[in-house]
Every structure is written in C-alpha cells, then in structure tokens.
Structure 1
Amino acid sequence: MPITPERLASFDETSVASLARRLEFDDYRTPFEGLSDWHLLRALAIHRPELTTPYAHLFDQEPFDED
C-alpha cells in the first residue's frame, strides 16, 4: 500500500501505537513487511511528528559522517 497524504492523515494515536508495537516486537512474516512499516513510521515522523514522538527510538535519526 503506497504512502499517500490521505493514508498518513488517517492515522491517530491508536493506529500509530499499533504500528510501533509491531516494529518493537518485530512481528512480521517477512523482512519486507517490517521495512514497509518502518518507512511508514518515518513518513509519519516527517508529516505528523506529534503522533510519533513516543516512538522516536524506533527510527534512526543519528547524523552520520560520509567522510
């Protein structure tokens, strides 16, 4: 399912908590399902940060040095 503005707008605290729970427990049949949820959580963090603040530990925001 593509990440669209409409899809992001449909999330609330409960649905983000469910998403985060799946990521925390790595509750997936395939690695690609987990990656899909991770991308979704990152998109929510960018577009709806008020919903993802409690789950910031689930996505990498560490700066890195390319040198």
Structure 2
Amino acid sequence: MTSTIARLGFISISLLTIGLSLWKSSELNHAVYLNMENYVGGSSTLHFTFSMLIGFLAVFTFPRFTHATK
C-alpha cells in the first residue's frame, strides 16, 4: 500500500512539475503564473521544492535502486 501511495505521489508531483514548466514557457496567462510564483517565494524556492519532492518520492517509489553511501 505504501508503494502505491509513493508511486501516485511521484507521478502527480512529476506531472505537476511538467505542467508548471510548460505553463511558464507558454504565453498563456503568464502574468498569473508570475503572481503564483512570487506568492510561493520566487522561482528558486518553487523549483527547489519540486526538486526535493521528486527526489524524496523517487527513493520510496524505486527502493531497489537506492543504496547507502559510505
């Protein structure tokens, strides 16, 4: 059950990230995107948050590919 939740979370965060990237690169309501980006703390904060979420969820989604480093 936990792996299913992790997979759904990973897929939803990935799709949300792709959607936001496409929205940012398009001219469709670009001012709305910029307002939303400024609301959450700016471009760096938004991209850092999604990068961390993708990395965190990837560990739980694909546990057999992870290993501890020494």
User: Normalised by the shorter chain, which TM-score bucket?
Assistant: 0.3 to 0.5
Normalized against structure 2, the TM-score is what? 0.38
Compare CA radii of gyration and give the structure with the larger one: 2
Q: Of the two structures, which has the highest relative contact order with CA contacts closer than 8 Å and spacing of 6 or more?
A: 2
Larger helix share, 1 or 2: 2
Normalized against structure 1, the TM-score is what? 0.39
